């Protein structure tokens, strides 16, 4: 069983090195079931900044579970299918996701995100907050624009200009290729417009952790 941990303190004696760790809540009973009377056997991997992180691994498996539920398939089967598909496309010779570097883990996440966003699998199940904690979201924002999905909630959306087209210009003819855009559903677009009038779009972007990007197909 794998659980991401954060080491809070380290103490060393002649007999052993002791760690104080922090884990996500709600795991006590799951962990105690592995007790053998004198403790719980396990191992710890210290992330050196180059290997796939615990957060990346957790997010990968969350995306796989969402896809598996959508497909009505076993998550392990889905993981092998999508992982070997990604490896083949990118000429990687990994045997398991445990071997992924940080860079390749991000590449695999983007691969899964494209499938999830294209098919609307994350609608009503926002993934943005978890993604922001892991990596730059510019690719995610591009995919939302490409597939016309709201970058905040995942529902069907429309492309909106962050850099406004000046009044009097014909929107069908003006070159907007260098203007920042974002994809929002009707509800979040309404919130965005209200924010512009009340507190400015900067506050809206900071609240939802999104921003406009230059979008080219």
| Angle separating helix axes 186-198 and 201-208, nearest 10 degrees | 130
- Gap between the Cα atoms of 198 and 112, Å rounded: 37
- Gap between the Cα atoms of 66 and 76, Å rounded: 12
Asked if residues 126 and 152 have their Cβ atoms less than 8 Å apart, the reply is yes
Residue whose C-alpha is closest to residue 126's, from 144, 103, 145, 106: 144
Q: In a structure prediction context, what are the per-residue pLDDT tens digits for the chain, which is 217 residues long?
A: 556 788 888 989 988 898 898 888 888 887 787 777 677 877 676 665 578 888 999 999 999 999 999 999 999 999 999 999 999 999 998 988 988 999 999 999 999 999 999 999 987 667 888 899 899 999 999 999 999 999 999 999 999 988 876 655 555 566 677 789 999 999 999 998 888 777 778 888 988 999 999 987 6
Give the pTM: 0.71
Specify the DSSP class assigned to residue 214: E
């Amino acid at each position: 069983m794998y659980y991401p941990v954060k080491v809070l303190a380290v103490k060393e004696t002649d007999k052993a090195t002791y760690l104080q760790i922090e884990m996500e809540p709600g795991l006590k009973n799951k962990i105690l079931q592995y007790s053998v009377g004198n403790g719980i056997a396990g191992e710890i991997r210290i992330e050196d900044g180059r290997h796939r992180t615990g957060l990346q691994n957790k997010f990968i498996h969350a995306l796989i579970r969402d896809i598996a539920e959508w497909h009505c398939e076993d998550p392990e089967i889905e993981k092998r299918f999508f992982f070997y598909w990604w490896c083949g496309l990118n000429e990687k010779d990994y045997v398991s996701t445990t071997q992924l570097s940080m860079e390749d883990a991000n590449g695999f996440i983007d691969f899964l995100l494209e499938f999830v966003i294209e098919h609307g699998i994350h609608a009503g199940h926002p993934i943005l907050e978890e993604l922001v904690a892991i990596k730059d979201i510019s690719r995610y924002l591009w995919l939302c624009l490409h597939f016309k999905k709201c970058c905040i909630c995942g529902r069907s959306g429309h492309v909106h200009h962050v850099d406004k087209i000046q009044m009097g210009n014909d929107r069908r003819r003006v070159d907007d290729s260098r203007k920042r855009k974002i994809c929002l559903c009707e509800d979040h677009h309404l919130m965005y417009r209200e924010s512009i009038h009340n507190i400015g779009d900067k506050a809206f972007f900071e609240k939802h952790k999104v921003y406009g990007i230059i979008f080219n197909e």
